[in-house]
Structure 1
């Protein structure tokens, strides 16, 4: 069975699509077969990223590795078995169509609470939650006393992950390996950055996730998306003499893949 990686939280702008694309293509480069789904049926940022990559390959004649991207199948209400939710059925069909073809299925969730996102979280073997390095986004995970930095309790997204874990336990499935990835890290050791690190480490012990560093804020990511490119493609497209920022960004991706501890994956780029 394919190992299912879900990238999700309930806030937009945290780097979910960038993280999804870089993880998926990095795994492809290392020889793993990857299937991909985008559950943001309205915006489809991850889907557009993949489409941009396909267009780039066609325009240039290159063969940059691309995950096997699938749209959710369209269904009519009368085609759904009695008592089942149409969204559950569409997602199940999409996963079933990939799981015997690939080693990993990467599912990018919308930045909002939806039925599809709920179901996807219960399917996750590995859950990646990108988080901007600010207490605005941290509020998604936990309620915090602004004066003492004391954690008051879990917030809405953490509760959804807890429910997904309970569903998996009742079904006899392995527990979710949950990794919170701190994106858009600033270059300076600012006071807020230190407080965030302490809060994330404290919360990790309480609600059961692993913390990992993600991507720093870099202009390069905004330049890569329209062409469907990733950091690992720069040498292939003839960008020689990579600057220090790009080299550092590649190392961030390498560190992230290592931190995920995916089965059968040895980082080789």
Structure 2
């Protein structure tokens, strides 16, 4: 964008309040001024009348998995990653979201339409895209399992991520008790009952694997590598280690910084 553009007469939302009948002056690609529009003032070269509308900063969505729905718009049907990302980008912009952290689930749940291969494909598309209108970033949601941890680690090595969260959807250890867990996956997500039973057993076994030892040390079961991650960034504030105990000295350290530059990287247990 070049030149000067004025957005006039809207309800302008600022960090300190709302300016009724406000004016936002944009010079090039920067906001130069925010004030109240003057009835006697002369408009700029390009003027947008925002009367009856809200003018506000773009929304930052840190955790939105709607790209999954664009990837699989209906049961048994899917589109390529580029089409899904383009559709998600446009839908988010229409709803005021200008910075989107796409929450990509790294887990093997085929009955839920989630596989590690699909996650890696979408992550790669988000990383290399240069065609979207909004600011699209990668939020890697890592299920607490070795295969998921290894897949995310591979993505970190190849692309980098903008945000990482560790997920553990086990009955009685989060949103749902046993009954609600089964109802949610059978009725809301159309999983076969046998698959729900398998998922409950697997996720409970991870609970056992992450229990601290009697001496307060780290887990020693086969699932332990996923629990021993220590992920660090250049900022001490964005350091997370251990789940749920502190990481042992043998834990590997990975930088999450994206190769392409200055985007901030954060880590959050979920």
Q: Same fold (TM over 0.5)?
A: no
TM-score with structure 2 length normalisation? 0.31
TM-score with structure 1 length normalisation? 0.31
Please tell me whether Structure 1 or Structure 2 has the larger radius of gyration of its CA atoms: 2
- Higher RCO (C-alpha 8 Å, min separation 6): 1
Structure with bigger strand share is: 2
